[in-house]
Structure 1
């Protein structure tokens, strides 16, 4: 049988059906459809390229079992995906994002509403999510827009995840931060923005990353906050930043002038969602420990060095707490 150099989706889908669903091998498909075996291989490749099929790797294959199990036990997590160290920090971060992306279609269920944060890490995840439709899924932008041409914005991350999961996408049509609190109040009061903010309470799942509360944080680099903002919040005890909001070492929200100028979900809303935290790098140790201690994540994807450091840090804090408690008793 002669086939065109540009086979139709119908024949490509038929080959895919026989191979992936019916379980026929390539030789059996070739015989049934009167094709050559190389043509069957080509059609299976085209099925992926044309997004006729979606391929997803089970998240359990990314787990480093002992560290993952200890993290779950220590911080009350439902799952942890621990990625072995690669040759450099950038490659390790990429693999952490890959693990989170492969887990995401299992994380969300039909009818869920997923809130999406912003930044390089979430952007890397969004670009790697398998093409895997989830019925009735709604994907919402958790914070407003940032005017920066090189920044992976919240709306771009939200849109890409929704596209890959065939979900309904809802962007938040407002700036993430305004110049004055008065302007912020007036924008929040606008009916369309007020409704969008109110509907963020419908999010029962969330995917996010975090930053340390240091002057070199990307929150400063991309003008969400100034170095003075960071200094002011750090002076109040902030160690981490999640969705543009600040937390202390216990995960308690720290508010300040910047919060009055921000438009988006706050930390109380985030804590009510089942959260997937994606993070890598020892520079984020304190912020990650605070986020897990504060109960913002039910699932985490991270690298092995960070996972090990988290467990050691938690052990040290437990010993310190025990010593202080003993000292108090003796007084």
Structure 2
């Protein structure tokens, strides 16, 4: 359904507007807010123009770098960790950031994996957000997207609501968001929100997913913007002292993938790990040097059916005893 702004633009002008938005975003590297200012439209319309362009296959992003033979490592990881399918992106720099190459591999997998009638739960983070440009959208029927974690007040690009909304837009689906912070001040507040503010219904939907797309986070240092304001440095040190090596949807876990006994876990507004493990298709999308320990722990706790990572992270996982 078109917005009032879209409906008022003739088709030829709409095509031109979409093309300009695409050029500014992909060729000139403008942010969505900058594009909105230049074109005299709101940011919501920019998101829709970009999503529409991807659905029409007007935007295609390719990776020109030569692909190494990663099949052996993929099979080795599948065997060692009992994963149904491993997809590795080539990445030669052990000290570099593989976010973009993992995102590209994830975008290709997601593009071919979404079908009408599906209910898909989504997490958040840099890798998932960076996968959006690599996803070829489509118009799907009866398609639902459920955010698996609360939001943040100081919203940046990695706000879970932002990713879930844009993901739903790509497939013309319905989006179901959690209208609460990712971490609240007490377990009592969490209980009240779940029982009296309608959040329980969304978590019930999360128990009926066909697929979950999630990432994991390390805890060696707080560098990612989505943690700001929720996990303090004091919290981080305390979590490390209890044995936490990272988190999946703010469920903090130790090196063996076991939830740690810490009050932050009791304050997180997110789907619990035991519920997530019951999802038929569990896709873990993550990698990077600072996440190697957390990634292994996430694999142990989630038993993912699909792992999408990078070459260097695979080497680290296989080097584990």
Bin the TM-score by the shorter chain.
Answer: 0.7 to 0.9
Find 1:311's aligned residue among 293, 305, 318: 318
* Corresponding residue number in structure 2 for 1:157: 163
Q: How far 1:55 moved relative to its partner?
A: 7.9
What SS does structure 1 have at the residue aligned with 2:87?
strand
Map 1:172-251 onto structure 2 (within 5 A).
172-218=178-224, 221-251=227-257
TM-score if structure 1 supplies the norm length? 0.73
Find 1:291's aligned residue among 279, 282, 298: 298
- Report which stretch shifted further, 295-304 or 212-221: 212-221
TM-score if structure 2 supplies the norm length? 0.75
| Rounded Cα–Cα distance in structure 2 between residues aligned with 1:272 and 1:57 | 34
Q: Is the CA contact (8 Å cut-off) linking 1:105 and 1:134 kept in structure 2?
A: no
* Corresponding residue number in structure 2 for 1:139: 145
Q: What is the total number of aligned residue pairs between the two structures?
A: 269
Q: How far 1:50 moved relative to its partner?
A: 7.7
Find 1:82's aligned residue among 71, 81, 88: 88
**Structure 1 unaligned regions, length at least 5:** 10-47, 317-331
After superposition, give the CA deviation of every residue in 1:167-199 in whole Å (9 maximum; x if it has no partner): 221111222111233222221112522212222
1:49–1:157 distance in 2 versus 1, CA, 3 Å = closer
Quick check: 1:275 aligned with 2:275? no
What SS does structure 2 have at the residue aligned with 1:264?
coil
What SS does structure 1 have at the residue aligned with 2:121?
strand
Q: Is the CA contact (8 Å cut-off) linking 1:62 and 1:99 kept in structure 2?
A: no
Quick check: 1:52 aligned with 2:59? no
1:99–1:254 distance in 2 versus 1, CA, 3 Å = same
Q: Is the CA contact (8 Å cut-off) linking 1:63 and 1:81 kept in structure 2?
A: no
Please tell me the root mean square deviation across aligned C-alpha atoms, in Å: 2.8
Q: Which structure has the highest helix share of the two?
A: 1
| Rounded Cα–Cα distance in structure 2 between residues aligned with 1:63 and 1:245 | 35
Q: How far 1:62 moved relative to its partner?
A: 9.2
Quick check: 1:110 aligned with 2:110? no
**Structure 2 unaligned regions, length at least 5:** 1-10, 16-51
